[in-house]
Amino acid sequence: DTAVSQTPKYLVTQMGNDKSIKCEQNLGHDTMYWYKQDSKKFLKIMFSYNNKELIINETVPNRFSPKSPDKAHLNLHINSLELGDSAVYFCASSQGQVQYFGPGTRLLVL
């Protein structure tokens, strides 16, 4: 009965690789988000989709490409990974003002 789920939970990869993180929500929400939490625990929004349409793009490098195949899924693809991409990535969904978060994906770029 998980509300917002993410896979994988951990991701260790080399610089220059391409990787994807998947997110699914079973809450029936229309809006989904990606947030990045850096090593100092600071959380910042990256993207938001509403009904499969991109509505927020917070000056994220274009190596990051979100994709929403349907309103229950929002995936994040990252090209040419860099050391600075190491972080925890959180997916969230909302219907209205309250956002519900997934467990996070811990990405480590070596």
Partner 1 sequence: AQSVTQPDIHITVSEGASLELRCNYSYGATPYLFWYVQSPGQGLQLLLKYFSGDTLVQGIKGFEAEFKRSQSSFNLRKPSVHWSDAAEYFCAVVVGGTGGYNKLIFGAGTRLAVHP
13 binds partner 1 (CB under 8 A): no
Contacts of 59 (CB under 8 A, 6+ apart): none
Smallest separation (angstroms) from partner 1 to the CB of 72? 18
Contact between 39 and partner 1 by CB under 8 A: the answer reads no
Nearer to partner 1, 51 or 80 (CB): 51
Site for partner 1 in 57-76 (CB under 8 A): 57-58
- Hey, how many other C-beta atoms are within 10 angstroms of the C-beta on 74? 28
| Residue number, 12 or 55, with CB nearest to partner 1 | 55
Token representation of residue 13 = 């990869």
Which residue, 16 or 91, has its beta carbon nearer to partner 1?
A: 91
Name which of 17, 4, 29 is nearest 108 in CA terms.
17
Stretch of residues binding partner 1 (CB under 8 A), selected from 14-22, 56-64, 66-74, 75-83: 56-64
8: preceding bond cis by omega (within 30 degrees): yes
Interacting residue with partner 1 among 32, 89, 90, 93 (CB under 8 A): 90
Residues in contact with partner 1 by CB under 8 A are: 31, 33, 35, 40-45, 48, 50, 55-58, 90, 92, 97-104
